[in-house]
Homo-oligomer: A and B are copies of this chain.
């Protein structure tokens, strides 16, 4: 994203003076570049800011008619869709039940229809779209938007998601793992002052998103944060859907809890059901969630030893159970990790809750829609 445009879009620096100070550029360079942005029509002058004695400075903003961003956060059983302005403000949003195992054509068809409805409601259309961000519940090769050997998502292996949206072929279509986008969303939307954070999602599966130095860290192949298949001590007999044994996802995920509680005679279908029962005070569900949290704490402890994060945000349905989920995780982490790595560590519930993923998808779309390459295409 063009540096000045990014600062204006996010509201970080919106006057020429602020832009010069933030970027370390000379006033004349900033004036020159802002003039160029004004020429494109992408940025407009929006009245005056607070005066510091002299003439009040002119406030810059993205032009309202500059276009929109499309975003989708796909989970195993839900699809949240949004249309946002270039500055990231949500203009319309929906949340629907889906079954991701219906396959890419069916699910992405619903996404296309949903976006079309939202755009129509805003009096906008495909030509207004400047960027697209999509999160999916599985591993993604980020450079091509291809789903790679997903443990869930039947029928999606090898599917190149951007290729489906032929109507948007002229704008950047970015696809990433859903948990990555939750991490990005929490960072941009609620924790922008943190240099870095980890986001751990405990749902049907278990995954982690990593923001380092203000940016999403994807690793060498886009697989970073895939902590669900780290081996847990003492569970060599539990077979995981990945083919290995003892993975934390096989022992302590929502899917594992559903299976265990069903075997105990409880009527639960999804991780959400387990979380609801536990929150309502069902003893078996509550105990199962607490034990699972402690086991996930073992894996988070390993991650803390290696990565030494300052902030870990926990998301997913089980956060609704209450403070004991965080308490169990923290207890294990503090017991297992050397003191230096935990003395400033905070473990908290992700403040954006279920909206973290869609906020991240919008942020991803925005980042790329405002990149110099993308701008050059449509200015």
Contacts and interface: CB of A to CB of B under 8 A. Distances in A.
Interface of A: 139, 141, 148-149, 151, 196, 208, 212-213, 217-227, 229-236, 242, 244, 246, 298-299, 301-303, 305-310, 335-341, 343-345
A132 B313 CA distance: 38
Number of copies: 2
Q: Which of A244, A307, A310 has the most CB of B within 10 A?
A: A307
A224 B303 contact: no
A148 B340 contact: yes
A230 B306 CA distance: 8
Given A227-B306, A229-B337, A233-B233, 6 more contacts: A141-B340, A196-B220, A221-B340, A231-B301, A234-B236, A307-B307
B149 A339 contact: yes
A345 B223 CA distance: 12
29 contacts: A139-B338, A139-B340, A141-B340, A149-B339, A151-B338, A208-B306, A212-B217, A219-B307, A219-B308, A220-B308, A220-B345, A221-B310, A221-B343, A224-B307, A226-B338, A227-B305, A230-B306, A231-B302, A233-B235, A233-B236, A234-B234, A234-B236, A242-B338, A244-B336, A302-B302, A302-B306, A303-B306, A306-B306, A307-B307
A220 B344 contact: yes
B231 A149 contact: no
